[in-house]
Amino acid sequence: MDRLVPTTVSSQRTPRQATEQPVTAPPSARALVVGEVLWDALPRGLFIGGAPFNVAAHLHTLGVDACFVSRVGDARLGREVCRRVTQRGLAADLVQVDTGHETGFVEVDLEHDGIPSYTIVEPVAWDHIAWTDGLAAEADGASMVIFGSLAQRSPTTRATLERMLSATPTATAVFDINLRAPFVDRAVVERSLARADIVMLNDDELVLLQAWYGLPDGMDASAEGLMERFAVDTLCVTRGAEGALLWHEGERYAHPGYQANVVDTVGSGDAFLAMLLTQLLAGAPGAEALDWANRLGAYVAGQPGATPVYSRRDLFDLPAKLAMLSPTRSPLLGDLPCVRSIERVPCSDES
């Protein structure tokens, strides 16, 4: 995939629903997703998570050849991660095993509206993702490298990511900012923005970056100022229940979002990003890519867990489940597999 060419943001397009024509990512498209995998300790039990894993799992479900890169401990929870990765159809050969550090673990508290807050344990195995010959081989020919800020809290993983980006100069670099206090490092964010072709962030993160870099007031002006400062090709700003904005190929797209009965919002942004990237890889128009991203994000917010089970039929049936949707054919198409149920792991210590 050719890198996107920076363009001047000029005009606005109103949201529209996706066409009935199938749009799928090209078979040669291959995405490397790098970062944390961990256990989310939710009130219902332990669930596998971590934004990079969630994105990789959704990309695979949507038909993209996704390679997941992380590191786990050499004990029960680490072995279970590898089993779950394989269960989701992803290869586990790039999930490294660490004999000296435990698998990532996060305590998740859900507010009354389903919005999560996180307590992230450190140090853990994914702080020590190493550059290996196998990783170097997978990097060769990658179309896209997807990464966030949290896994870069440690020098080891940060250095590995930098080597990967250097080894994939023709790949599209996707930075999902995904800031998690207290691991907010301005220098990490700045280096990542400078490397990125596509950036995704939420409206609160944009306000923070506006303060850091003295960007103009207003969401549009701030977003466009950020794109200009760091030569970003494509920028997406999510706004929770208010939908999202997308700047892509010189156009600005706005979508109001879809109403859903929120169970929890854990992973909904990761599903949104996976769908958005799938459509952009396929060459879908920006308005359609944004529409389908909002659809899947709303669907996941209405399900328990970050990577709920869904099939092609679930996406076809979204018009009956979400407001504003009309019965159209999904642009994902191909034969989207029905993913098997994610098992619940009892709350217990790793042993």
What does the pLDDT look like over 50-76, one tens digit per residue? 999 999 999 999 989 999 999 999 999
**Given pLDDT bands bounded at 50, 70 and 90, which one contains residue 40?**
confident
Instruction: Of 149, 144, 151, give the one whose Cα is nearest residue 174.
Output: 144
Radius of gyration of the chain (CA): 19
Structure confidence at residue 177 (pLDDT): 97
Q: Predicted confidence band at 226 (pLDDT cuts at 50, 70, 90)?
A: very high
Which 3-state string (H, E, C) describes the chain? CCCCCCCCCCEEECCCCCCCCCCCCCCCCEEEEECCCEEEEECCEEEEECHHHHHHHHHHHCCCEEEEEEEEECCHHHHHHHHHHHHCCCCCCCEEEECCCCCEEEEEEECCCCCEEEEECCCCHHHHCCCCHHHHHHHCCCCEEEEECHHHHCHHHHHHHHHHHHHCCCCEEEEECCCCCCCCCHHHHHHHHHHCCEEEEEHHHHHHHHHHHCCCCCHHHHHHHHHHHHCCCEEEEECHHHCEEEEECCEEEEECCCCCCCCCCCCHHHHHHHHHHHHHHCCCCHHHHHHHHHHHHHHHHCCCCCCCCCCHHHHHCHHHHCCCCCCCCCCCCCCCCCCCCCCCECCCCCC
Asked if 204 and 186 touch (Cβ cutoff 8 Å), the reply is no
Strands 30-34, 38-42: pairing kind: unpaired
Percentage above 70 pLDDT, the chain: 80
- Mean pLDDT score, 247-272: 90
* pLDDT at residue number 23: 57
Q: Are 93 and 133 in contact (CB under 8 A)?
A: no
Q: How much is the average pLDDT of 288-297?
A: 91
Does the pLDDT of residue 266 top 60, yes or no?
A: yes
Helix axis angle for 186-195 and 155-167, nearest 10°, is 10
Whether 85 shows a pLDDT value over 80: the answer reads yes
| pLDDT value of position 29 | 86
- Degrees, nearest 5: CA angle 150-156-161: 65
The token duo for 251 is 């156009």
Look at residue 134 in the predicted model and tell me its pLDDT.
Answer: 95
Amino acid at 348: S
179 vs 110, more confident: 179
User: What number of residues does the chain have?
Assistant: 351
For the whole model, what pTM was predicted? 0.84
Residue pair 349/121 in contact (Cβ under 8 Å)? The answer is: no
Quote the pLDDT of residue 38: 94
pLDDT of residue 316: 63
Report which of residues 236 and 319 the model is more confident about.
236
Give the pLDDT confidence score for residue 319 in this predicted structure.
Answer: 54
Q: In the CATH hierarchy, which top-level class contains the domain 11-15+24-321? A: alpha beta
Report the mean per-residue pLDDT for the chain: 84
Stretch 254-276: mean pLDDT: 89
Provide the sign of the torsion angle of the four alpha carbons 97, 27, 337, 262, taken in this order.
positive
Q: Alpha-carbon distance 256 to 105, whole Å?
A: 34
